[in-house]
Amino acid sequence: MAFLNIPNLPEEILCKIIEMVGADSFYYLGGILRAGKRGYALVHEPSVLRKCNVQPMVTFATCQICTGGQFREFLIKCVTAGNTNAIYYEGLYAALMVGPEKCIRILQPNVPNHDLSTLAVGIFNVCIGNDKEASKLFQQFAANHYDLRSDAIVGLGADLEWRLISFGAPYMNRYGASFKFPDDEVIKSPSCLYGHDYTVDFEGSCKNCRLFWICCNISHIL
C-alpha cells in the first residue's frame, strides 16, 4: 500500500480535516498515523482524540481495548483528551477489573450530560450501597435525559448490561450484600415489586419497577 502524502496545508486546517475523518471511525486514522511524524502528531492532537469515534474498538474488537490490547494505548489517550464515549467504555471496563468505585471516578466527567454514563454511575452507587448518591444521580438523569419509567430507560439498561457482558462480566453477584436501592421522597423502591396490579412489560415488572430491575440485573452480572 502506498504511503499517504499529507498536503502542505496549515496545521489548523489539517486538524479540522483529520477530526472529521476520525469522527467517522478511528480506523480511518491509520493511514494518517503511518504518514510520518507530522501525521502521527496531528492524529494525537487533543481536538482529534476528543472527537474520535472509538465505538468500533468495542463493537468489533472488544478484547483489544483491554490491558495489553492493540488499541489500549490509543483508547487511554482518547480518555485523557475528554472523549465522552472513550470515558464511558473505559469506565465500564474498570468496573469489571477493579470495581465500581473506580468506574464511578472515571465516568464522573460525563455526568450529567451523557445519558448512559449518568445511569451507570447511579446503578454502580446502588451496587455499593450509596443509595443517597444514587438517588441524586437518578434525579439528574431524569432532569437531563428520560423519565425513569419510560421505554427509553429499558433500552439504555439493556445497552449497559450487554456492554458489560461483552467486556467479560463475571456473573458473580459480588455486590448482592451491599446492594441498596434508594427509598426516599423522590426515588422510591417500587411498592408493586412483589405484587404487580397491572400489566407487566419489562423483565416481569411494571413501569414503576423498571429502574429497580435494571439495577438488579447489573448487580447480578458483576
CB 58: neighbour CB atoms within 10 A?
A: 22
Q: Is residue 45 assigned to a domain?
A: no
Q: What is the pLDDT of residues 78-112, one digit of tens each?
A: 999 999 999 999 999 999 999 999 999 999 999 99
Q: Is residue 7 assigned to a domain?
A: no
Q: Is residue 91 assigned to a domain?
A: yes
Q: Is residue 156 assigned to a domain?
A: yes
What does the pLDDT read at residue 192?
Answer: 65
Q: 3-state SS of 47-81?
A: HHHHHCCCHHHHHCCHHHHCCCCCCHHHHHHHHHH
In whole numbers, what is the pLDDT of the chain averaged over residues? Answer: 88
Query: Total domain count for the chain?
Result: 1
Q: Is residue 46 assigned to a domain?
A: no
Q: Is residue 15 assigned to a domain?
A: no
Q: What is the pLDDT of residues 124-165, one digit of tens each?
A: 999 999 999 999 999 999 999 999 989 899 999 999 999 999
Q: Which domain holds residue 83?
A: 54-221
Q: Is residue 21 assigned to a domain?
A: no
Q: Is residue 1 assigned to a domain?
A: no
Euclidean distance between CA atoms 100 and 75, whole angstroms? 20
The reply to whether the predicted model has a pTM over 0.75 is yes
What does the pLDDT read at residue 202?
Answer: 46
